Amino acid sequence: MARPRKFDEERAVEAAMRAFWRTGYEATSTQDLCAATGLGRSSIYNTFAGKHDLFRRALRHYMDERDTALAELMDGDLPVKEKVRTVLGWAVEPGPDDPAGCLVVNSMIELGPHDEEVAGMLRRSHELRVRIMRTAFEAARARGELGPGQDPLALARFVTATVSGLRVLARGGADRATLESVAGTALDTF
C-alpha cells in the first residue's frame, strides 16, 4: 500500500519554479530542488517523475499565473494606456520575492532551441498573450483610444517583445532608471 503524501504538491511546484527561475534549468540540480522544496530526492522522483517533469509543471504554473493576470487586466475597465503601463510596470518592478528576469524568456533561450515539448509550451503561451492583448487593443481602437492606423496585432507583438526585452535587461543587471526609460518610450506608442 502506498504511503500518503505528506506535502503540498502545489507549494513544491511553486518552490521549484523559483529555483528554476533563479538559476535556469541546467544549473538547477536535483539537490537544489530538494533544498528549495523541502522534499527528498525520492519524493521528487515519485511525485514528478524527475527534474524535467517538475520543470514543465513549474513552467506551466508560472505561465498560468502570468497569463491569468494579463487576461484579467486586459479585460478590465482601465483605459488602454493604463493597461499597457501596468504590463510594462510588471517588468520594471517585479514582486519583491521574484528573481530577476522571466522564467519564460529564460526558458525560451535555454531550452526552446532543443526541447520540443518546452518550445511548444512557450509558443502556446506566447500566442495566448498576444491574442489577449490584441483583443484588448481591438476593443480600444473601436472605442477611439487607438488611432485607426494602429494595428492591434502589431501592438500586441510590440508590447510582448518589449516586456521580454525588459526582462532580459533586468536579468543582465540594468538599473531601474534604464528599465523605466525603455518602458516610457514604449508607452509613448499609445
Angle at 74 between CA 122 and CA 153, to 5 degrees: 60
Interatomic CA distance for residues 62 and 66, integer angstroms: 6
Domain presence at residue 38? no
pLDDT at 1: 42
Q: How many domains does the chain have?
A: 1
Cα–Cα distances in angstroms (integers) from residue 43 to residues 52, 57, 187, in the given order: 14, 15, 46
pLDDT 10s digits, 147-174: 999 999 999 999 999 999 999 999 999 9
Cα–Cα distances in angstroms (integers) from residue 185 to residues 113, 159, 189, 190, in the given order: 30, 11, 7, 10
User: By residue range, what is the domain housing residue 181?
Assistant: 57-187
Among the listed residues 104, 103, 157, the one whose alpha carbon sits nearest the alpha carbon of residue 130: 157
Domain presence at residue 183? yes
Domain presence at residue 46? no
Interatomic CA distance for residues 150 and 15, integer angstroms: 41
Domain presence at residue 146? yes
Among the listed residues 92, 80, 82, 83, the one whose alpha carbon sits nearest the alpha carbon of residue 181: 92
pTM for this one? 0.90
pLDDT 10s digits, 71-105: 999 999 999 999 999 999 999 998 888 988 899 99
pLDDT band of residue 7 (cuts 50, 70, 90) is low
- The CATH number of residue 78's host domain is 1.10.357.10
Domain presence at residue 93? yes
Phi, psi for 44 (deg, rounded to 5): -65, -45
> What region does 38 belong to: left with phi over 0, alpha with psi -120 to 50, or beta?
left
Cα–Cα distances in angstroms (integers) from residue 124 to residues 60, 63, 152, in the given order: 11, 10, 19
Among the listed residues 175, 170, 166, 139, the one whose alpha carbon sits nearest the alpha carbon of residue 85: 166
